[in-house]
Amino acid sequence: MRYLSEYRDADIARSLIARIKARATQRWTLMEVCGGQTHTIVRQGLDELLESAVEMIHGPGCPVCVTPLEQIDKALAIAARPEVIFTSFGDMLRVPGSDCDLQQVRARGGAVRVVYSPLDALALAQQHPDQEVVFFAVGFETTAPANAMAVWRARDLGVKNFSVLVSHVTVPPAITAILEAPDNRVQGFLAAGHVCAVMGWEEYEPLAAKYRVPIIVTGFEPVDILEGIGMAVEQLETGRHEVMNQYVRSVRRQGTPPARALVEQVFELADRQWRGIGEIPMSGLRLRDEFAAYDAERKFGVSDLRVTEPAACRAGDVLTGRIKPPQCAAFGTRCTPERPLGAPMVSTEGACSAYYNLAKYRASDAAEAVS
């Protein structure tokens, strides 16, 4: 399959790994921003294979991981209402709120359904005119156009029983927040290819220049990621700090203008809480006032809900690369994949969950060697 199989080719990948190791004169610290990239890195064991040359920090680019507790609690409150059919992407169902998750709401009688597209949720609203259908609009710039489209179309079609609970975040302010942290260790970034497919990369150019870090727009297959890492290492070794595009088969400098325009028409920038990190100014999207009728927070009166994150969870320090998951006191004890305190322990690719499994593997190996 063109554009896919060659990016999974083990021989190409192995030669890229060898080249990166040969080029690195020191161990560089890079952050991949997107959860999809973390997925590939963890599943293929790329961080293990590159360990001598590059330390990969799994960044805050997983929408599941950064959706704040407050928004989860709003989702739980709305989903529990008898008149509501609450729709969501699948992996949000296990994210713990203050006292339960969406799966438990469903077990107690709430109508919670997994959908693959916000337009499916809109169709559900048309099929159930006597109920309120709410879609949990989470994600980065990648999912924003489809979510904007659903709201746009709902207004076009005059569907009144559809609304969205918006928890959108944007990448550049998160990168800025990480780079502004006094103890930042990240020396270069792999930017999320699909975010850039929508947004382009112009907005990353001032970041690369101001903070003197290479930012590589990178795809999601093993060869993409290794190429992206190779490009970042090459820049670091030669003292450069530019935005470069590895993902040329999908991303243009200006992104996809019609998608950007649609997002701009439906959403506006807003301050947004990030789970474990706190509020980052102008880092999120909210519905514009003219679409207020489709805002589930206003419709169900949950806008004022405020909660505090569990103090034991250091997800923010993990997501910003300040600590590795095992350095968190709750890791592996109070916080496990079965009973996560924070989102990075939820999905199998979350940084904490990945470390948990790796640690279990190595611990059992060590135990075996002793016995």
Those residues with Cβ within 8 angstroms of residue 99's Cβ, 6 or more apart along the chain or in another chain: none
Q: Give the shortest CB-189-to-another protein separation in angstroms.
A: 17
Which residues, 212 to 241, sit near another protein by CB under 8 A?
222
Q: Report the DSSP pairing between strands 267-274 and 28-34.
A: unpaired
> Which residue in the set 116, 156, 238, 306 belongs to the binding site for another protein (CB under 8 A)?
116
Contact characters 250-289, another protein, x per CB under 8 A: ----------------------------------------
- Applying CB under 8 A, does 46 fall inside the site for another protein? yes
Which residues, 63 to 82, sit near another protein by CB under 8 A?
63-64
Fill in the amino acid letter for 211: Y
Q: For another protein, how many residues bind (rule: CB under 8 A)?
A: 71
| In contact, 331 and 79? CB cutoff 8 Å | no
Contact characters 329-368, another protein, x per CB under 8 A: ---xxxxxxxx-------xxx-----xxxxxxxxxxxxxx
- Strand order, beta sheet including 28-34: 54-61, 28-34, 188-192, 215-218, 243-245
Residue length of the chain: 371
Q: Helix 257-266 crosses helix 144-157 at what angle (to 10 degrees)?
A: 60
Q: Give the shortest CB-160-to-another protein separation in angstroms.
A: 25
Locus of tokens 């109070």? 334
Q: Report the DSSP pairing between strands 162-169 and 188-192.
A: unpaired
Cβ distance to another protein smaller for residue 160 or 249: 249
Binding segment toward another protein, per CB under 8 A, in 137-145, 252-260, 268-276, 286-294: 137-145
Cβ distance to another protein smaller for residue 90 or 281: 90
Q: Give the shortest CB-361-to-another protein separation in angstroms.
A: 5
DSSP character for 336? B
What distance in Å separates the CA atoms of residue 32 and residue 84, rounded to the nearest whole number?
Answer: 37
> Which residue in the set 107, 157, 209, 248 belongs to the binding site for another protein (CB under 8 A)?
107
- Applying CB under 8 A, does 114 fall inside the site for another protein? yes
